[in-house]
Amino acid sequence: MAELAPLLSVRGLNAWYGESHALHGVDLDVLPGETVTLLGRNGVGKTTTLRAIMGLIRKRTGTITYEGRELMRLPLHHTARRGLGFVPEERGIFATLSVDENLVLPPVVAPGGMSIEEIFTLFPNLKERRNSQGTKLSGGEQQMLAIARMLRTGVRTLLLDEPTEGLAPVIVQRIGEVLRELKARGMTILLVEQNFRFARRIADRFYLMEHGKVTAGFPVAEIEARMPLLHDVLGV
């Protein structure tokens, strides 16, 4: 893997919420087609890292390159057009839009996205409820919708923030299947996840975050050897 150039590369990323300094120099790489998971306790800056990469947090320094091109200076709406899709922690389903409207809201940014039919094959529930109000869906369905609407757009990389949070085991399993399916189709995924058991089944590599920094990085093969560290830091 070492010979591959990273698709997404973050160096020395600092970010602030108002006066409070949330990220203290995050470094990470994501290779093309990889699924990488950020692990860490609540409040160490995992969500902040995703939001800073997307450009949702504007008070930031450091470098973020995607396909070798700098993202820092782009206006917020240009980040997605470079090929990055974002699935926020709170899912961000719009209450005043129907399921269909939610699904087609994000503009297509590159060719190669899924058609609506393909998406409905992957998420049959959404097809049945396509005329419902977006927020009338169950939590699991909203999560599916939040992922599904990114697939139409042709983005090659997904930033997923806690997709399994608060969902029933059977739904979590379904989301795992979806992510593996996306991975098989060549999607690159940067995942923030509290559910370690879920993450270890789908990730190729892990980064551990503490106090606004990445403190360790290792492939899934080393996971057994890293268990004592993870136990210390995460309590798993």
Partner 1 sequence: MTMVFGIPIQAFLGQLLVGLINGSFYAMLSLGLAIIFGMLRIINFAHGAQYMLGAFVGYLLLATAGIGYWPALILVPLIVGLIGVVIERLAISRLYNLDPLYGLLFTFGLALVLEGVFRYYYGVSGRPYATPPLLSGGTNLGFMFLPNYRGWVVVASLVVCLGTWLAIEKTKFGSYLRAATENPSLVQAFGVNVPLLLTLTYGIGSGLAGLAGIMAAPVYQVSPLMGSDLIIIVFAVVVVGGMGSILGAIVTGYILGLAEGLTKVFYPEASSTVVFVIMALVLLVRPAGLFGKDA
Residues that bind partner 1 (CB under 8 A): 54-56, 75-81, 86, 88, 92, 94-97, 101, 104-107, 109, 153
Tell me the closest approach of the beta carbon of residue 203 to partner 1, in angstroms.
Answer: 24
User: For residue 16, which of 76, 61, 78 has the smallest C-alpha distance?
Assistant: 61
Beta bridge partners of 91: none
**Least distance to partner 1, CB of residue 155, Å:** 9
CB of 56 to partner 1, least distance (A): 6
* Closer residue to partner 1 in complex, CB, 1/95: 95
Smaller CB separation from partner 1, 55 or 233: 55
Residue 54 C-beta: closest distance to partner 1, Å? 5
Nearer to partner 1, 39 or 145 (CB): 145
Q: What's the closest the beta carbon of residue 158 comes to partner 1, in angstroms?
A: 13
Q: How far is the CB of 106 from partner 1 (least distance, A)?
A: 4
Q: Which is nearer to partner 1, 69 or 77 (CB)?
A: 77
Tokens of 96: 């005043």
Cβ closest to partner 1, residue 52 vs residue 172: 52
Residue 18 or 124 with smaller CB distance to partner 1: 18
